[in-house]
Amino acid sequence: MTKFTVGAQMYSVRTLLQTEEDMKAAFAQLKAMGYNEVQMSGYNFQIPPERIAALLEEAGLHCGATHVSFDWMEEDVDRCIAYHKALKCEYAGTGSMPRHFVERGEEGFVDFAKRASKVAEKLQDAGQHFLYHNHAFELAHYSKGRGLEILFNETSPAFQFEIDVFWIQAGGMNPIDWIHKVAGRMDVVHFKDMKPTCTITEIGNGNLDWPKIMAACDEIGVKYAFIEQDNAVESDPLNCMKISHDYLAPLGAKF
Give the model confidence (pLDDT) of 179-219 as tens digits.
999 999 999 999 999 999 999 999 999 999 999 999 999 99
Share of residues in the chain with pLDDT > 70 (%)? 100
Does 233 have pLDDT greater than 90? no
Q: Which residue, 60, 1, 2, is CA-closest to 33?
A: 60
pLDDT of amino acid 150 = 99
- What DSSP letter does each residue of the chain carry, written as one string? --SSEEEEEGGGGGGG-SSHHHHHHHHHHHHHHT--EEEE-SS-TTS-HHHHHHHHHHHT-EEEEEE--HHHHHH-HHHHHHHHHHTT-SEEEESS--HHHHTTHHHHHHHHHHHHHHHHHHHHHTT-EEEEE--SGGG-EETTEEHHHHHHHHS-TTEEEE-BHHHHHHTTS-HHHHHHHTTTS-SEEEE-EE-TTS-EE-TTSSS--HHHHHHHHHHHT--EEEE--GGGGGS-HHHHHHHHHHHHGGGT-B-
Domains along the sequence of the chain with CATH: 5-251 (3.20.20.150)
pLDDT of amino acid 249 = 99
Q: pLDDT tens-digit profile of 104-151?
A: 999 999 999 999 999 999 999 999 999 999 999 999 999 999 999 999
